Amino acid sequence: MSTPHSQGLSAPSAVMRHCVLLITGALILVPFVWMVSLSIKPPGEIFRASFSFWPQQFYGIENYTRALTEAPLPQYMLNGVFVCTMIVVLQIAVCAPAAYALAKLDFPGKNLLFAMVLIALILPHEVLSLPLFILGYQIGILNTYAALILPFVVSPFGIFLFRQFFKTIPDDVIHAARLDGLSELAIVWRIMVPMALPAIIAFAIFSVVSHWNSLFWPLIAVRDQSLMPPPLGIMAFKNEEAGNDYGPLMAASTIVVAPLIIAFLSAQRWFVEGLTGGAVK
Amino acid sequence: MAEISIRNVTKSFQATSVLREVSLNIADGEFLTLLGPSGCGKSTLLRILAGLEVQTGGSVAIGERIVDGVRPKRRDVAMVFQSYALYPHMTVAQNMALPLRMRRLSSWQRLPLLGRFMPGTTATTAEIERDVTRTAKALGIGHLLARKPGQLSGGQRQRVAVGRAMVREPAVFLMDEPLSNLDAKLRVQMRAEIKELHNRLGVTFVYVTHDQAEAMTMSDRVAVMLDGELLQVAPPQQIYADPDDRRVAEFIGSPKINMLEGKVLEAGLANMAGAAFSVPVQVASGTTITIGIRPEAFHVVDSHGLNVLTGSVRMVEHMGSDLFVHLDVPGTDHPVIARLLAERAPQIVSGQTLHLGVKPERLLLFSADGRRLRPEDHAGATVLRMKEHVQ
C-alpha cells in the first residue's frame, strides 16, 4: 500500500487509490476530531453555526474538570481497566489450550466441537443476554465484577483465531517439544503462544476495545455505581436537566477513548501482522 | 545399552496400511539407515520409535524395556527433524538448553521469575549452560549461541538441531532426513560429520533417508523399505551386490540395474533378448525369470556367444573415468546401460554394433514374483517359499 509503484500501478491509479484511502480515513477521523474540538469549547460556542477547530475561548480546563468530578469517572476507568484486564487474561488462558487441542490434537468429536465454535462465532452476544441474566441471578453474581467478566471468558473468536494461527505452526516443532520433555500444557504456553504472539496481541486489542466500549451488558448486569465501566459514566452527562452539557460529555468521551488510541498506536505493528499473518504465510 | 527391537509392528491410517508386520533388530551402537522412496513408511516407523505415533499392532523395545505406551520424553531418544523444528522465539542457547531444563530442573525451579530463588536452581542452571556451551563448541556453533534460528543459515540450523539432540546424551539418535534441506556440497560435508559424530558418541543411530548415497556411505546396515515392508536388511555392500528382491536391486545403484526378461530353455540355460545365458539355478524349463545385470558387470568382447548381449550403440556418455554406453538390444524395451572403464573400452561411437559379455557369477536372477533365485535354490524350495509368502 505504501509502495504502489513497486506493485506495478500506474501513477493515476496510485493517485486514485490514495484519494479513496484519504477520504475513507477522513470520514472515520472527523467525528473524533470534532469530539476533541467540542471538549475544549464553552457551551456558547458548541452550537454556533460556523465551525472552527480551535475555540475562541479555551474552555478545556473547565470541561475536563467537570468530566472528572461530576461523575466518578476515575472510578469507572479503574473498573474498566480491571474488568478488561481480567477478561483478556482469562480469555487467553481458556482460548489458547482450546485452540491448541482443535488445531493439533486428534480426538473423537473434534470436528463437531469446532463446528460448535463456528456457530458460537455467528451468534451475537446480545442474543445470550437474557439467559445469562437469569443464570447470573441463579448463581447470585449479578451486580458484581464476576457478572461483568465471566460471560466473556470463553471467546469463540479467540478460539477460532488462535486455531487458525496454531495450524500454521509445523507439527515437527510440537514433536520436537514432546521429545524435549514438554507437557502438552507447557507446549501451549512455552512454544505455541510465543510463536503466535502477533495473533495473541491482535486478539487482546480486539477484546480490550470491545469490552472497554461495552455498554449493553454492563447496563443489565450491574446497578452499583462503583462497578460501572466507562461508557456508563459517559451516560451520566446525557440524561440530566437539558441537553446542553455537551462540553463535559465530550471531555469525558475523550478521556474514555484516549487509552484505547494510545494502546492501539503502540501495538499497531502487531495488530496488523496478527490479522494477516495467518492467511498469508 | 540401547539395542532396539521392533516386533511385527503394523500401522494403518483408517483403511490404508502404512506398515505391514515390520520386524527389525538394531544392535547397540549401530548406525542403521531406513532407506526407501517417499511414502514407504520409513518416517512413520521412526516416529513410532520416538513415541510420536502409536503403532496399530506389534511392539517396540529400546534397551531391555518395552516402550509401547511410554511417552516420548521417557524413552531416552532424541530426534533431528528434516525441518530442524527449532523454536524460532528462542536463541540457540535456549533451544539447546530446553531439553536439559525440562529434565534437570523441577517445575518450581522453572517458574519464570520465582524459579531462580528456589534452592539449587543457580547451580543447575550454570551446569546446563556449561553443557550447552561445550556441545556447541564441539559442533562449531559456539559463536552463535546468542542468535535466533531466523538469523542462521541452513547448515548452521542443522547443527543447532543436532546440538539440541546431542546435548542431553540420549541412548538413541533418530534422524529424519536431516540433510535433505541442504545444498549438495554441504550435504556431503554434513554426511561425514554425522558419521564422525556416530563414531565419537558410540550410541545407536537410526537414520531415515531416500538418498541411497547417504545410506550407502554412512550406515553399518541398510534396511530397504517399500510399501510398508522391509525388503532386506544388510550391510551396504551386500545390499548392492547380493539383493534379496528385484525391487531392492532396482532401487539401489545408479545408473539403474538392467533387467532382462526371459525363459529358461533347459537346465542351466536361459534365453533372453536373443542371447543365451547360463543360469546356475535349477528351475523347470519354460519358467519365466528375470536377469539383473549391474552396468559395471559388462565388459566388451569380440563376438557373440554365451552370456553376451549384442546390440547397436545408441548413445555414449563420457563421465571422465567411466563411459556410460546405452545399447539398443533387439527384444528389450529399454536400452541396456553399461558402465565401462574409459581406458579399457576401445573407441566406441554411437551406431556401431557392440558385444557386451558378463561373467555368469555376476548375473542376478529373479523369479517372476521378484524374489531372488540363488544357485543353491531349486524349484521345489522356491515354490515352498512362495507359498509361505502368500500365507
Q: Check B73 against A175: CB less than 8 A apart.
A: no
Domains recognised in chain B with CATH numbers: 4-241 (3.40.50.300), 256-390 (2.40.50.100)
Task: Quickly state the pLDDT bin for A2 (edges 50, 70, 90).
Answer: very low
Q: What pLDDT is attached to residue A5?
A: 47
> Which residue of chain A has the CA closest to B48?
A175
Please tell me which residue, B79 or A239, carries the higher pLDDT value: B79
Q: Could you tell me if A132 and A23 lie in one domain?
A: no
Of A177, A181, A195, the CB nearest to B103: A181
Q: Could you tell me if A92 and A121 lie in one domain?
A: yes
Helix, strand, or coil here: B301? strand
Query: Cell numbers at residue B324, please?
Result: 556410460
On whether the CB atoms of residues A176 and A140 are closer than 8 A, the answer is: no
Of B73, B83, B88, the CB nearest to A178: B73
For residue range A109-128, list pLDDT tens digits in order: 999 999 999 999 998 888 88
What is the distance in angstroms between the Cα of B174 and the nearest Cα belonging to chain A?
11
Q: Check B87 against A191: CB less than 8 A apart.
A: yes
Residues B270 and B291: their CA atoms lie apart, in Å, by 9
Q: Mean pLDDT over all residues of chain A? A: 85
On whether the CB atoms of residues B96 and B132 are closer than 8 A, the answer is: yes
Instruction: Name the stretches of chain B with pLDDT < 70.
Output: 1, 376-391
Query: Residue A53 sits in which domain range?
Result: 5-61
Helix, strand, or coil here: B220? coil
Helix, strand, or coil here: B260? strand
**What single letter denotes the amino acid at residue B355?**
H
Contacts (Cβ under 8 Å, ≥6 apart) of B51:
A178, B67, B70, B71, B72, B75, B77
Q: Domain count of chain A?
A: 2
For residue range B224-247, list pLDDT tens digits in order: 999 999 999 999 999 999 999 999
Task: Quickly state the pLDDT bin for A170 (edges 50, 70, 90).
Answer: very high
Q: Could you tell me if A156 and A272 lie in one domain?
A: yes
Q: Check A172 against B77: CB less than 8 A apart.
A: no
Residue written as cell 551396504? B236
Closest-CA residue to B227 (of B30, B8, B1, B40): B40
Considering A61, A87, A109, which residue would you say is the last residue of a domain? A61
Q: Could you tell me if A33 and A114 lie in one domain?
A: no
CA distances from A25 to A22, A51, A137, B27, B112 (A): 5, 20, 44, 70, 43
Task: Please report, for the domain that includes residue A139, its CATH number.
Answer: 1.10.3720.10
Q: What pLDDT is attached to residue A3?
A: 46
Q: Check A175 against B52: CB less than 8 A apart.
A: yes
Q: Could you tell me if A96 and A188 lie in one domain?
A: yes
Of A173, A181, A191, the CB nearest to B99: A181
* A59-98 burial: b if 16+ Cβ within 10 Å, else e: bbeebbebbbeebbbeebbebbeebbebbbebbbeebbbb
Q: What pLDDT is attached to residue B285?
A: 80
Chain B within 8 Å of A179 (Cβ-Cβ)?
A: yes
Q: Check A175 against B102: CB less than 8 A apart.
A: no
Residue written as cell 446480545? A126
Q: Check A179 against B50: CB less than 8 A apart.
A: yes
Q: Could you tell me if A155 and A260 lie in one domain?
A: yes
Q: Could you tell me if A111 and A243 lie in one domain?
A: yes
Q: Check A179 against B72: CB less than 8 A apart.
A: yes
Q: Check B99 against A179: CB less than 8 A apart.
A: yes
Q: What pLDDT is attached to residue B28?
A: 94
Please tell me which residue, B369 or A232, carries the higher pLDDT value: B369
Best of A104, A106, A173, A180 to disrupt the B interface by mutation (most B CBs within 10 Å)?
Answer: A180
Q: Could you tell me if A147 and A49 lie in one domain?
A: no
> Which residue of chain A has the CA closest to B164?
A180
Which residues of chain B lie closer than 8 angstroms to A186, CB-CB? 102
Q: Could you tell me if A269 and A140 lie in one domain?
A: yes
pLDDT higher than threshold 70 for residue A271:
no
* Neighbouring-strand partners of residue B31: B205
- Residue A273: φ, ψ to 5°: -60, -40
CA distances from A28 to A25, A177, B227 (A): 5, 46, 62
Query: Cell numbers at residue A110, please?
Result: 473434534
Judged on CB neighbours under 10 Å (0-12, 13-18, 19+), B250 is middle
Q: Could you tell me if A218 and A195 lie in one domain?
A: yes
Q: Check B82 against A172: CB less than 8 A apart.
A: yes
pLDDT higher than threshold 70 for residue A108:
yes
> Which residue of chain A has the CA closest to B175?
A176
Q: Could you tell me if A55 and A140 lie in one domain?
A: no
Residues A229 and A77: their CA atoms lie apart, in Å, by 6
Q: What pLDDT is attached to residue A59?
A: 81
Which residues of chain B lie closer than 8 angstroms to A176, CB-CB? 79, 81, 85-87, 164
What is the distance in angstroms between the Cα of B103 and the nearest Cα belonging to chain A?
7
Q: What ipTM is given for this predicted complex?
A: 0.81
> Which residue of chain B has the CA closest to A193?
B89
Q: What pLDDT is attached to residue B376?
A: 63
Q: Could you tell me if A56 and A76 lie in one domain?
A: no
Chain B within 8 Å of A172 (Cβ-Cβ)?
A: yes
What percent of chain A lies above the pLDDT cut of 70? 89
Element (H, E) at B80: strand B77-80
Which residues of chain A lie closer than 8 angstroms to B73, CB-CB? 178-182
For residue range B137-157, list pLDDT tens digits in order: 988 899 999 999 988 988 899
Helices (H), B81-171: 92-104, 121-138, 154-166
Considering A61, A87, A104, which residue would you say is the last residue of a domain? A61
